[in-house]
């Protein structure tokens, strides 16, 4: 006898809200491949999305691959295009997203370079995408791109953490803005290999608090940890929070949206991938005073790839969130579909409590 | 025409100074397999070595493998012995040091468990090894063992960082002592995967400073980074310091001894491994005011596996240091040979300057 009621989560009728054709490439010789995984903030009367925009050089010859990479030129960094011969046995071209150098068994190019770009909306649904970058790769740790961002409002300052990728590894960097016009970089806060960092919007026990997701090489798996900080730039007191669990999250898990506060605890919408690399979203409820304590966790995903724009795209079968708005008891989940588009799903907090069993 | 003069470094006549037979196992049903990679400190009139002692359960059946692992029992942790069947296809037993679970492609057991144990000497050569552990695995992050330690004296307190290994990954934890009798744990300072952390013995620019060696999974290599800290527990401002270079260090590199101060800069004796996993020691000279600046680096190893106790052992062709004493212009390098014994090599600082070309 089946007693589970399907979770009542509503995809927005206008989904997908933003697609690559809504985004102008920064350069005429590049195309926009993907727009996805946006940081989310409410700023004055606007909803802000900090989009991850992946652009790649226009290709001219099917036997070649033109790849973007940042190179230092004097004191500044500029995007170069390297042309690789697809018959070059030194490289492995089998993954459409990246190129591996065989002898050192590591990826040495991505096929696209991501930057972070603002989109603004009055109603949270119809967005205007800016034509310029907000955070563009500009140092050695960003040579392969700047990726998924999360935005946390703390004492009037919007802190933006994002993934900085280079030949030195996948790291998490921090920046801040007060006006979404100018932005100041604050350096690397989690060293390689770490992404899916979400900073809580309040101090807890006198310290800043974050979820992070280290990826170990030899022992262990891609799972969620916590850390504290006295100042947002230096992090420690690392603790393991939760690991891979049900089938839908059996390959890896990681933080998703910036956690939001409810009367029952901190709610974190996180992602899990199964063994086929199908990414879904779950929720976990953490203790208000000590987020290292898990109160409840959804057994099944609250959102999984089902719509066409989630199932098919640059990297199919993916829903992935970097941010939500929690307003009027509705959780508005902005998410990437198929690593390709921006979409929105809404769930009432009472329904989320029900899914959490609290 | 060969113009290089071989580096004048002297292995101690009494090498190896400590071998497994000098160490009493903590339990009668365990044997001491290895004693190596010791943290080093001068404390009052003694030279202190904090040995890594690897013990394993006595084996009873060639078809079985008995492996040690820490398990939580109520509020405490105790060592359990699991017995694996060598014919069990779920596991890969090919590495004598560890057991891989095939379906999740990660190591789930080590064949020995390491703890940290004190040895004391008046002359720095003849050591008495204590019979009890100083730091024994005792929490979930240490379930596979506590390994290589480094000791840094700061304002009268000896800070000990060590590798904490568990199914959650390879992390670096911190502890402190003032008397080498009692010790207080301070938590994890670098999350997985990170080891070879060396904390400088002075604040620099008002902050604590360390070298660390993250190991990324997807992109990048096992190379040396720096970080700063306001309080020793929280670390940030991560910067890449140096990467794999010459043939002898072409596979990976990492911090070795706690850096020591000279008139020409901070000297760091580090390790590098070549593609055959042969570990040697090199030296790098870092700017006194800003250790992110490299002044000089030795082109060739200053010490490489040549003696019988370095070439043959538990894991052959390894010299590896966690600490030196710099006294009377002599750098006294305590090091592990073949992951099996403790040895000592001495080099005059002027000779080291010559090797560094400064």
Percent of chain A scored above 90 by pLDDT?
94
Prediction ipTM score: 0.95
Which residues, 6+ apart, have CB-to-CB distance to A305 below 8 Å?
A: A278, A279, A280, A311, A316, A317, A318, A319, A337, A338
Q: How far apart are CA B313 and CA B321, in angstroms?
A: 16
Q: How far apart are CA B130 and CA B119, in angstroms?
A: 6
A103: helix, coil or strand?
helix
Average pLDDT of the segment spanning A171-188: 98
Partners of B203 on chain A (C-beta within 8 Å) are none
Q: How far apart are CA B179 and CA A232, in angstroms?
A: 34
Q: Quick one: closest CA in A to B167, which residue?
A: A220
Is residue B181 classed exposed, middle or buried when 0-12, 13-18 and 19+ CB atoms within 10 A define those classes?
Answer: exposed
| pLDDT at res. B96 | 85
Scan residues 243-282 of A and list those with Cβ closer than 8 Å to B.
243
Instruction: Count A/B contacts: CB-CB distance under 8 Å.
Output: 147
pLDDT single digits (tens) A26-46: 999 999 999 999 999 999 999
A117: helix, coil or strand?
strand
Cα distance from B357 to chain A (closest Cα, Å)? 27
Sign of CA dihedral B6, B7, B10, B15: negative
Q: Which of B234, B249, B274 to mutate to test the interface with A (most CBs of A within 10 A)?
A: B234
Q: How far apart are CA A198 and CA A184, in angstroms?
A: 19
Looking at the complex, does the CB of residue A145 fall below 8 Å from at least one CB of chain B? no
Partners of A188 on chain B (C-beta within 8 Å) are 236-239
Q: How far apart are CA B176 and CA B337, in angstroms?
A: 27
Q: How far apart are CA B244 and CA B67, in angstroms?
A: 34
| pLDDT at res. A260 | 98
pLDDT single digits (tens) A120-159: 999 999 999 999 999 999 999 999 999 999 999 999 999 9
Residue A3 has pLDDT above 70, yes or no: no
| pLDDT at res. A151 | 98
CB-nearest to B219 from A167, A219, A220 is A167
Looking at the complex, does the CB of residue A56 fall below 8 Å from at least one CB of chain B? no
pLDDT single digits (tens) A303-337: 999 999 999 988 899 999 999 999 999 999 999 99
Q: How far apart are CA A139 and CA B27, in angstroms?
A: 53
Looking at the complex, does the CB of residue B228 fall below 8 Å from at least one CB of chain A? yes
Rg (CA), chain B: 20
Average pLDDT of the segment spanning A181-192: 98
Is A216's CB within 8 Å of B193's CB?
A: yes
Is A141's CB within 8 Å of B240's CB?
A: yes
| pLDDT at res. B158 | 98
pLDDT single digits (tens) A188-205: 999 999 999 999 999 999
Looking at the complex, does the CB of residue B219 fall below 8 Å from at least one CB of chain A? yes
Give mean pLDDT in consecutive 10-residue pieces for chain B, a chain of 358 residues.
Answer: 73 98 97 97 98 96 95 92 96 92 90 97 98 97 97 97 97 98 98 97 98 95 97 98 94 97 98 97 98 97 97 94 98 97 98 97
The structural domains of chain A, ordered by start, are: 2-356 (2.115.10.20)
Q: How far apart are CA B260 and CA B148, in angstroms?
A: 19
Q: Which of A212, A217, A251 to mutate to test the interface with B (most CBs of B within 10 A)?
A: A217
Partners of B188 on chain A (C-beta within 8 Å) are 236-239
For chain A, where are the alpha helices, taking DSSP H only? 308-311, 349-356
Cα distance from B83 to chain A (closest Cα, Å)? 20
Q: How far apart are the first and last CA of chain A?
A: 22
Angle in degrees, CA A70, A101, A224, rounded to 5: 75
Looking at the complex, does the CB of residue A229 fall below 8 Å from at least one CB of chain B? yes
Q: Quick one: closest CA in B to A241, which residue?
A: B168
| pLDDT at res. A96 | 85
Cα distance from B24 to chain A (closest Cα, Å)? 29
Partners of B218 on chain A (C-beta within 8 Å) are 106-107, 170, 193, 215
pLDDT single digits (tens) A92-112: 999 888 999 998 888 999 999
Cα A76 off chain centre by: 27
Is A234's CB within 8 Å of B240's CB?
A: no
Yes or no: say if A117 and A127 are a contact pair by the CB < 8 Å rule: no
| pLDDT at res. A207 | 98
| Phi, psi for residue B119 in degrees, rounded to 5 | -130, 140
Yes or no: say if B67 and B84 are a contact pair by the CB < 8 Å rule: yes
Looking at the complex, does the CB of residue B223 fall below 8 Å from at least one CB of chain A? yes
Average pLDDT of the segment spanning A153-179: 97
C-alpha closest to that of B192 among B163, B230, B160, B227? B163
Looking at the complex, does the CB of residue B300 fall below 8 Å from at least one CB of chain A? no
Is A167's CB within 8 Å of B140's CB?
A: no
Residue A1 has pLDDT above 60, yes or no: no
């Amino acid at each position: 006898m089946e007693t589970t009621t399907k979770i009542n989560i509503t995809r927005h009728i206008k989904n997908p809200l933003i697609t690559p054709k809504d985004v102008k490439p920064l350069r005429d010789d590049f195309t926009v491949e993907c727009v996805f995984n946006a940081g989310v903030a409410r700023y004055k009367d606007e909803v802000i999305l900090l989009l991850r925009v992946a652009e790649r050089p226009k290709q001219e010859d099917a036997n070649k691959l033109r790849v973007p990479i940042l190179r230092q030129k004097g004191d500044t960094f500029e995007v170069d295009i390297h042309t690789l011969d697809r018959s070059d046995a030194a490289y492995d071209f089998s993954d459409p997203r990246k190129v591996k150098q065989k002898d050192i068994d590591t990826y040495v190019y991505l096929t696209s370079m991501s930057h972070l770009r603002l989109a603004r909306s009055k109603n949270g649904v119809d967005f205007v995408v800016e034509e310029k970058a907000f955070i563009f790769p500009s140092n050695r740790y960003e040579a392969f791109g700047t990726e998924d961002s999360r935005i946390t409002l703390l004492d009037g300052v919007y802190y933006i953490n994002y993934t900085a990728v280079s030949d030195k590894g996948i790291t998490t960097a921090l920046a801040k803005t007060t006006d979404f016009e100018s932005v100041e970089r604050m350096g690397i806060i989690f060293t390689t290999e770490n992404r899916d960092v979400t900073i809580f919007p309040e101090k807890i026990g006198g310290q800043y608090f974050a979820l992070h997701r280290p990826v170990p090489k030899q022992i262990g798996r891609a799972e969620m940890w916590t850390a504290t900080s006295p100042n947002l730039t230096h992090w420690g007191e690392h603790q393991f929070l939760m690991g891979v669990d049900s089938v839908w999250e059996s390959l890896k898990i990681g933080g998703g949206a910036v956690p939001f506060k409810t009367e029952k605890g901190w709610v974190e919408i996180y992602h899990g991938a199964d063994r086929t690399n199908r990414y879904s979203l779950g929720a976990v409820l953490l203790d208000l005073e000590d987020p290292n304590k898990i109160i409840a966790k959804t057994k099944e995903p609250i959102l999984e790839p089902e719509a066409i724009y989630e199932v098919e795209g640059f990297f199919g079968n993916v829903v992935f969130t970097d941010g939500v708005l929690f307003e009027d008891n509705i959780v508005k989940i902005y998410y990437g579909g198929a690593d390709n588009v921006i979409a929105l799903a809404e769930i009432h907090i009472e329904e989320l409590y029900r899914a959490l069993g609290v």
